Amino acid sequence: MEELQLRQVLEFALALAMVVVAAADQLQTLPGCTSTCGGIEIPYPFGVGNSSNQPQQPCYLEPNFELVCNNTNSNLLWGNITVLSINVTTHQMDASFWVARFCNDSNDNNPWMLTGTFSISRTENKFRTVGCNGLGYLTGSYDNDKFATGCATQCDGEEFKFDNGKCSGVGCCQVDIPPRMRNINISAFNIGSNFTHHWGNCSYSFVAKQDSYEFSSAHLQSFPDETLPLVLDWTVGERNCSSGEHACKEHSHCNDTDTDIGYRCTCDHGYQGNPYLGCTDVDECKTDKHTCISEQHCRNTDGSYICVCPKGQSGNATEGEGCYHKNAVTKVVIGVATGIVTLFVGTVSLYLIYQKRKLNKLREKYFKQNGGSILLQQLSTRENSSQMTQIFTEEQLKKATNNFDESLIIGSGGFGTVFKGFLENNRIVAIKKSKIVDESQKEQFINEVIVLSQINHRNVVKLLGCCLEREVPLLVYEFVENGTVFDFLHTQKKVNSETWKTRMRIAAEAAGALSYLHSAASVPIIHRDVKTANILLDNTYTAKVSDFGASRLVPLDQTEIATMVQGTFGYLDPEYLRTSQLTEKSDVYSFGVVLLELLTGEKPHSFGRPEEKKSLSNHFLSCLKEDRLFDILQVGMVNEENEKEIIEVAILAARCLRLNGEERPSMKEVATELDAIRQSENHPWIHRDQNLEETQHLLHESSSIIYERGEDSCSHHNTGYDSIRDRILIALDNGR
């Protein structure tokens, strides 16, 4: 009788403990705090108001996590943003945010959000712009850092085919969200004087979850949404885990491996719940998270579990093994075990053979899919082609990069990721993992590989070969070890006469390389992304033009080609942006901006500068018009020896920046003039009779030719530039 009562007491205690654990599993808020609002759960560290149990105790961890429950419409608000859901496991918050709208040359809506330490999730969101001739900007800032991204669409004409369901660039464009984007502002604009009303007169820009919006051409005339959901990544505080001060409770740990500010709390393995209130043990035996034969063979432990055989049996209680009675015949067990081992070895051997054959067939498939057959055919028709282009195997490049170890990444961009590699002959190379090649473009891709591999110019990065055995082709280039001209100008910050000589040499070498690509290559090549970040420097500071991911081959019977506008903001040719007609003069304009960087030491565009100085090219040309060139040159660079050379380079840069491409010099003329200036530097007696006053007269004459009407950013007058700049550049300024 006593034994029965004792058993009942134990069963009651066990049931009570299970109820307590279950209650702990559901604990998501502090005692006395609101747990839901409008059907949305409010997990701690977020909270609404103070605890009803302790009026002085906030329901949230820190002010950035304070929420408001609007009792009128049951909306849960974070500031002025409506919250849709909060997840303490992924540390993300879904919120509803407004769509920027621009109609009839006026801003209908220009939404902004102060996020604090929260950031816009780059993995869950996309920035999109919808409209014909629409331009959208997403700007963000944190502390003193400001940065932006955006995209533009253009669809002239009365009839146009749109790709409904996809944001492919016509009527709808999209870009990735930059990392650590905080305190955002969204702007939408209309661009171009030939804006068509056939497809509506509005542009819309917004940040939204990747699967929350589907484009339709009907949206060009009537956009259906005023708000769309976006995802915020959140962290706690402004200190990292090493400070030793964090809010992580029992059975959880502090994690800051992928955060730039603050930290996150995560439940330990084998535990679940809210790590900011304390995690509880997961009973793996009651879930599918165990490997035991059945639930009856499973015993839960703190943070884990064990598999046991029933009383009177022995063996392994995990799946695939099993329990058996202790008096089972040993020989039978040994025989069965031997048979299983033999069968296993045979099966594994056959499987490995099958996998090897499957892998070889897959590599053959990718080789043909990426145009390998076309490449071999073209190589067979060329003399010594094997010396120009080497076809690498996937195993060779895996070995060279330690299976593409992330620690060997030396660069990444919109066209691929670049790894540092070590070939078997100890040669160091740069291996570029490009994006997937479109099936319809594979012949052009192979033609570009053939042409680029034949370029043999000391100031162009040499293409050594490629690997086509992968779904994503790999390109192998020579390795240039001393960084980029961008790093040289904006990181090292060296200014002296020797640095000016180096800058002149870099400019002349880069110009010579581009001239070679335009006029001396077997098929003319337009680089299309000329900038200081794409000019590498070797250990002797010799310039090497690189990154042909955006390049286009120009047929010998054509002077211009129509393309989707690509390039880097600040370097982009306004005429190319307006007409989508790519010419060699587009590279000339971009090189003119490179010359400005070498002269001024400033970046081509900066949101941190005053409005009239944000665009380096506009500011430079304004100062040039006012004969105030030396106000914009880098301080400490000009001296009596190089003053005349700097003025001549400034005049050349201004000619490169002319809005009408036909009025710009060719790259061959630019390279010739830079060489002449350098010769004058090395042999000053060549132009000894021409004094500085004559050069300054040329400077004034050049600026007068460039400016029919100018924007005086040096003296802060607003007169416009010309009809094209009034229409495009002023719009860009408003977009910031």
CA Rg value for the chain: 33
Whether the CB-CB separation of 584 and 561 falls below 8 Å is answered with no
Residue closest to 432 by CA, chosen among 402, 459, 401, 454: 401
Q: Is 529 a catalytic residue?
A: yes
Query: Using CB atoms within 10 A of its CB, is residue 729 exposed (0-12), middle (13-18) or buried (19+)?
Result: buried
Pairing of strands 92-98, 227-233: antiparallel
Tokens describing residue 53? 């149990």
SS3 content of the chain, % helix, strand, coil (to 5): 35, 25, 40
Q: Measured between alpha carbons, how far is residue 214 from residues 99, 166, 228, 327 in Å?
A: 14, 7, 11, 67
Residue closest to 183 by CA, chosen among 137, 106, 225, 120: 120
- The secondary structure of residue 197, as a DSSP letter, is S
Tokens describing residue 71? 């009792």
Element (H, E) at 12: helix 2-26
Amino acid identity of residue 430, one-letter, is A
Active-site residue, selected from the candidate residues 94, 283, 529, 587:
529
Burial 114-153 (b: 16+ CB within 10 A, else e): ebbbbbbbeebbbbbbbbbbbbbbbbbbbeeeebbbbbbb
CA 629 – CA 613 distance, rounded (Å)? 14
Name the 3-class secondary structure at 625. helix
CA 604 – CA 569 distance, rounded (Å)? 8
**C-alpha angle with apex 199: 195 to 202, nearest 5 degrees?**
65
- CA torsion angle 661 662 663 669 (round to 10): 90
- CA torsion angle 241 244 245 247 (round to 10): 60
Which residue, chain included where needed, has tokens 């003119």?
Answer: 592
Is residue 433 a known part of a binding site? yes
CA 293 – CA 89 distance, rounded (Å)? 30
Question: Is the preceding omega at residue 45 within 30 degrees of 0, hence cis?
Answer: yes
| DSSP assignment of 457-468 | -TTBPPEEEEE-
- The secondary structure of residue 33, as a DSSP letter, is S
Amino acid identity of residue 372, one-letter, is G
CA 96 – CA 481 distance, rounded (Å)? 47
Residue closest to 69 by CA, chosen among 114, 27, 41, 37: 37
Query: Using CB atoms within 10 A of its CB, is residue 483 exposed (0-12), middle (13-18) or buried (19+)?
Result: middle
Largest CA distance in the chain: 125
CA 97 – CA 99 distance, rounded (Å)? 7
- The secondary structure of residue 268, as a DSSP letter, is P
Give the catalytic positions in this structure: 529
Q: Which residues are annotated as a binding site for ATP?
A: 433
Q: Which residues are annotated as a binding site?
A: 433
